[in-house]
Copies of this chain bind each other. A is one copy, B any other.
Amino acid sequence: MTAATALIGVDWGSSNLRVLRIAAGGAVVERRADPRGAAGLASGDFPGVLEAVAGDWLADGAPVLVCGMAGARQGWVEVPYCPCPAGVADIAAGLVRPDPARPLAIVPGVAFNPGGVLTDVMRGEETQALGLAVDGLVVAPGTHSKWIALDAGRIVAVQTCMTGELFSALRKATMLGVGMGDPGGDTDAFRRGVGRGLEDRNLGAALFSVRVEGLAGRLGPTGAADYLSGLLIGAEIAGQDPDRLSGPLTLIGDAALSARYREALEMAGGRDVRVADVEQATAAGLWRIWEAGQ
């Protein structure tokens, strides 16, 4: 007999779905993943997909808590954003139950509205960040990197940086991508790119350096992807408040990408950079929100 299921946790991203069997306290007992992300589903599709992926777990009648894009306007049901400052109790107060007959709730995303003007949003990363139970900066690198500032256990600011999507678009649709390999193999080129991105506040001009470095023979085709990746990550970091960078900073995301961000953050003077496990953070965040909602 495995540990009792206290909560079924669901992280429904745009392009995939993760379901977690969570024990009391937030530990992950078992996990499943499926490629049916929220972006490809109509509102009515969500219950059936969840049943198909984890119907046996749901049959026990355990409560289910869903975070991520299931709560977006084009998701299962729209869950209004919770404004900053947002702690677990604030988020728990905004849970929406799409079907009164089922013990299932969807977590609101978080909106950053300084001075009453909406300037940023996230759905899913708020749960991960609150699961870490840390103050300072939490950074979730990826297609749309999220920079999340926490103070006294509440999310106080959010900034999205489109670094991953920019990298992908530059490779696919500009001359920089012609003949470019995959990143990951050339640490020296990555570090040179980070240096350029950190020092040059004109990204459109810094990007042309990928071509000039090639023309000058300082960068081969295998290094170009690493240089470009470093340049974009460096520019992302250079755009942050330096005071925040010197405090505690926790990375949550893909392990290889988190390692690259850690290296770049340390080059930028980050002194207290940790890498956390994103699945554990998600499960702990869902558990904390669930508890706060009881």
Contact = CB atoms under 8 A, between A and B. Distances in A.
Given A168-B173, A169-B169, A239 B162 contact: no
A163 to B, nearest CB: 5
A175 B174 CA distance: 16
A52 interface: no
Given A169-B172, A169-B174, A172-B173, A161 B208 contact: yes
Contacts of A162: 174, 176, 204-205, 207-208
Contact of A203 (B145, B215, B235): B235
Interface residues of A, number: 40
Interface in A208-244: 208-209, 212, 215-216, 232, 235-236, 238-240
Contacts of A145: 204
| This protein's copies in its complex | 2
A186 to B, nearest CB: 20
B173 A204 contact: no
A28 interface: no
Interface stretch (A40-48, A59-67, A116-124): A116-124
Given A159-B205, A174-B165, A204-B162, A216 B118 contact: yes
A202 interface: yes
A225 B1 CA distance: 58
Interface in A51-104: none
Contacts of A212: 118-121
Nearest to A39: B175
A105 B281 CA distance: 66
Interface string A102-119: 000000000000000111
Given A212-B121, A215-B121, A239-B201, A175 B165 contact: yes
B118 A204 contact: no
A6 interface: no
Interface in A163-191: 163, 165-166, 168-170, 172-176
A204 B121 contact: no
Interface in A129-161: 144-145, 159-161
A215 B168 CA distance: 23
A261 to B, nearest CB: 13
A135 B235 CA distance: 32
B204 A236 contact: yes
B119 A160 contact: no
A117 B205 CA distance: 16
Interface of A: 117-121, 144-145, 159-163, 165-166, 168-170, 172-176, 200-205, 207-209, 212, 215-216, 232, 235-236, 238-240
